[in-house]
Amino acid sequence: MTAISTPNSFIRQIVVDDNASGKHGGRVATRFPPEPNGYLHLGHGKSIGLNFGIARDFAGTCNLRFDDTNPAREDVEYVEAIKEDVRWLGFDWAELRHASDYFEVFHRCAIKLIETGKAYVCDLSADEVREYRGTLTEPGRDSPYRTRSVAENLDLFRRMRDGEFADGARTLRAKIDMAAGNINLRDPAIYRIRKLTHQNTGDAWPIYPMYDYAHCISDAVEGITHSLCTLEFEDHRPLYDWFLDQLDLPHDRALSDPLRAAGFACEPGTPQQIEFARGNLDYTVMSKRKLMALVQDGLVDGWDDPRMPTLSGARRRGFPPAAIRTFWERAGVTKQNSVIEYGVLEGCVREVLDAEAPRRLAVIDPLKLVLTHLGADHAETLRFPNHPKNEAFGERDVPFSRELWIEREDFMEEPVKGFHRLVPGGEVRLRGVGIARCEDIVKDATGTVVELHCTLDADTRPGQPGADRKVKGTIHWVSAKHAIAAEVRLYDRLFDVADPDDDSDGKTYRDHLNPASKRVVRAWLEPSLAGVPVESTWQFERLGYFVADRRDHRTDAAVFNRVVTLRDAWAKVAPR
């Protein structure tokens, strides 16, 4: 409830003020209105968090509304994916709606506009309309069809609706002002002819309404109080208001009685459009169109490729939904466009996973280490805490034996300055075991080190007098005999420049794909990771956070994705 007493954004302040003034009778109703023409991306997460968050915090409602007025680009696959993504982010809708639910309403409203002299059928082609529209500095010119009689307009519009005319032959246009400073008010189209099959309404309609017209009516029908959208719609707000003023839906009983009878809110009080800045992240692109191109051209492995900035990609990558919600809450809601560093999002992911992910041992680039003085059948079971900062996670058994896998990079035959791990003749602490000394190295015919022969200082085992003996490095390991094999996918940023959208150098975002964004390795995991559920997340000590891949991970074939490294590797190489 603190959200109500201390609003943290100008939009929440507006809601508080409206509640105080009784503008909407204390009601708060929002909606999230995606067009089902692709998968949702991280930017949509901002809008979802905002709309559903306000409804939650002000005891209001939020609808999920599919803005499906353009059947050329839309598909049920996207509808299902969007529903799943919204739920995954932790939200649920009051009502599931489609703009297409209101096709009859839009049509009746159009007839009202024609009858009141506020709309006309225009025969200009798309090119001619453009030519007549004028420019920012020049007024437009009236269409020669602007003065058609109401009767003629009604007749032509009926015939448009009956499918008599070809695609693009005519449009229905609002009659506003061809000299308006705001070009959006220069007689914008309301309906166009498109003989396309619609996913919900089939072939019932050969004409489809335009976004600006359909959106405000949909809001009014649903009784939306605060219609939140991104800044590019600021110049469309006068049109939003104009349509609603002309139609006066709640008070026009001929229009609203059938709606109310059909269970639609159609509350009095006009929805208010409020614009906010889009959320942007560096090192990524966030446009369904561009993401679609990456998928269609096979540059990524589908919409839910763990490198994709889609919500389904983030999910498969192992980003916790709470991290995405927190990220956008911290980013705030303003009218100022800005770009947030990708590292900030990763920071939120680390924060959640640090608290929630149990620790495990895994080796992703294995090198054999043999404790030569132990017997071949030497077997011990060690106890490891599952979380260093939270005892509630408990402990687990970790088998220890003569042959271990360690990380190849934890050994250097010729150490560079400052290397504190294992070197020939040197010592290192094996995590939870004690101090090992490298006595000998074994190489294959090519000179590659394939095995390290070590001895363990028994006096440094846990509980022994020398357990606290200082040694510079501590490394992790897994028992070779007990380890389970896994495919591990190491992901990095999909783009290697901060602003892939910047094409001023003649290159496009497709030229900036990071070739090192995916690396697949064979890894060895401690046996307690056998059979963990898909989507479970773990910290592999020293390596990062990992998730069991929701598509490919099986009980008998483990597949893990690296969610994020433990520290931000990009902060160093790419100062910003």
Which residues form the interface with ligand ATP (CB under 6 A)?
33-35, 43-44, 46-47, 229-230, 278-279, 286-288
Closest CA to 430 of 414, 409, 406, 413: 406
Closest CA to 562 of 349, 318, 372, 394: 318
201 vs 224: CA distance, rounded Å: 24
88 vs 82: CA distance, rounded Å: 10
- From the candidates 108, 194, 278, 469, which is the catalytic residue? 278
Q: Is 341 in the site for Mg ion (CB under 5 A)?
A: no
Angle formed by the axes of helices 321-331 and 342-356, nearest 10°: 130
In SS3 terms, 67-117 reads as CCCCCCCCCHHHHHHHHHHHHHCCCCCCCEEEHHHHHHHHHHHHHHHHHCC
Question: What is the separation of C-alpha 61 from the centre of its chain, rounded to a whole number of angstroms?
Answer: 22
| Sequence-ordered list of residues with C-beta below 8 angstroms from that of 269, at least 6 positions apart, any chain | 23, 24, 25, 27, 223, 225, 250
> Using CB distances below 5 to 8 A depending on partner kind, what does residue 198 bind out of Mg ion, ligand ATP, none?
none
Q: Closest distance between ligand ATP and the C-beta of residue 543, in Å?
A: 32
> Using CB distances below 5 to 8 A depending on partner kind, what does residue 229 bind out of ligand ATP, Mg ion, none?
ligand ATP
Q: Closest distance between ligand ATP and the C-beta of residue 160, in Å?
A: 26
Return left, alpha or beta for 233; rule: phi > 0 is left, psi -120 to 50 is alpha, else beta.
alpha
> Using CB distances below 5 to 8 A depending on partner kind, what does residue 223 bind out of Mg ion, ligand ATP, none?
none
Active site residue 278: yes
Active site residue 74: no
Closer CB to Mg ion, residue 153 or residue 218? 218
> Using CB distances below 5 to 8 A depending on partner kind, what does residue 34 bind out of ligand ATP, Mg ion, none?
ligand ATP
Q: Closest distance between Mg ion and the C-beta of residue 35, in Å?
A: 5
Q: Closest distance between ligand ATP and the C-beta of residue 74, in Å?
A: 10
For residue 558, what are the β-bridge partners? 486
Closer CB to ligand ATP, residue 282 or residue 526? 282
Closer CB to ligand ATP, residue 83 or residue 431? 83
Q: Closest distance between ligand ATP and the C-beta of residue 123, in Å?
A: 30
- From the candidates 31, 148, 173, 288, which is the catalytic residue? 288
Name residues contacting Mg ion, limited to 107-126 (CB under 5 A): none
Q: Closest distance between ligand ATP and the C-beta of residue 292, in Å?
A: 9
Closer CB to ligand ATP, residue 252 or residue 501? 501
Q: Looking at beta carbons, which residue is closest to ligand ATP? A: 43
Closer CB to ligand ATP, residue 271 or residue 358? 271
Name residues contacting Mg ion, limited to 11-70 (CB under 5 A): 35
Tell me the one-letter amino acid at 493. R
| Sequence-ordered list of residues with C-beta below 8 angstroms from that of 263, at least 6 positions apart, any chain | none
> Using CB distances below 5 to 8 A depending on partner kind, what does residue 44 bind out of ligand ATP, Mg ion, none?
ligand ATP
For residue 242, what are the β-bridge partners? none
Alpha carbon distances (Å) from 95 to 40, 62, 83, 265, 346: 19, 7, 12, 11, 33
Closer CB to ligand ATP, residue 222 or residue 541? 222
**Count of CB atoms within 10 A of residue 131's CB?**
12
519 vs 516: CA distance, rounded Å: 7
> Using CB distances below 5 to 8 A depending on partner kind, what does residue 241 bind out of Mg ion, ligand ATP, none?
none
Q: Closest distance between ligand ATP and the C-beta of residue 222, in Å?
A: 14
Closer CB to ligand ATP, residue 14 or residue 471? 14
> Using CB distances below 5 to 8 A depending on partner kind, what does residue 286 bind out of ligand ATP, Mg ion, none?
ligand ATP
Measured between its terminal Cα atoms, the distance across the chain in Å is 37
User: Is residue 30 a contact partner of residue 51, using CB atoms and an 8 Å limit?
Assistant: yes
Active site residue 46: no
| Beta-strand relationship, 474-475 and 427-430 | parallel
Q: Looking at beta carbons, which residue is closest to Mg ion? A: 35
SS3 call for 306: coil
Q: Closest distance between Mg ion and the C-beta of residue 295, in Å?
A: 17
Closer CB to ligand ATP, residue 226 or residue 429? 226
Report the interface residues with Mg ion, using CB under 5 A.
35
Which residues are known to be catalytic? 35, 278, 288
